[in-house]
Amino acid sequence: MDPMPGVAPPGSDGTAVYLDGAGHPMDMGTARASGGSREAAALGCTPVSGRDNPHRSATGVAVSGHGWWKKGNCSSDRAKVFNCLYEWYTDNSWRQQACSPTKTLKPGGGSTQRTAARHDCRDTERTSWRNHVDVDVVGEIDTAEKPMNQAEVNCRVY
């Protein structure tokens, strides 16, 4: 049977693989639900990577997620930010379904200082989604992790 989207079972975190939009394996680095890395902080600054849970978009039957940042211990007031949404499949893979454009943002978030990834749903079956955010502080060395939030959303993309 072909892999299908679904709800990720408990304990699948340690063995799941990430696939890009073309189906190729990705190295997600440190994919964690909490931000910050002590080792990287010794080499540069540690921004706070902001992201919301994947959710149904208010603009229709779509899955959506946002990314933003806060300065943490960084001194720059600009960062390049993007976020991507991943749908869980029964072959224990997280498949990239949508990424936002990269934006240069001021810290803080809010409706004008964030990125948005969005994809229309094919149906409304409950499915696990992850929203990963990547923050690259302009002019500073910073941490490389791509923290995420995971949620079940009534949306399947396939």
Query: Model confidence over 50-63: pLDDT tens digits?
Result: 999 999 998 889 99
Find out whether 3 and 93 touch, Cβ atoms under 8 Å: yes
Query: 15-20 contacts: CB < 8 A, separation 24 or more?
Result: 15/92, 16/88, 16/92, 16/93, 16/94, 17/92, 17/93, 17/94, 18/86, 18/93, 18/94, 18/95, 18/96, 19/93, 19/94, 19/95, 19/96, 20/96
Two tokens, residue 15? 């063995």
- Predicted pLDDT of residue 36: 41
Inter-residue contact 96 to 83 (CB < 8 Å): no
pLDDT band, residue 104 (cuts 50/70/90)? very high
Mean pLDDT over 52-81 rounds to 95
Residue 68 to residue 76: CA distance in whole angstroms: 15
H helices of the chain, in order, are 38-43
- Give the per-residue pLDDT at 25: 95
Given a cut of 80, whether residue 37 has pLDDT beyond it is no
Q: Is the pTM for the entire model greater than 0.85?
A: yes
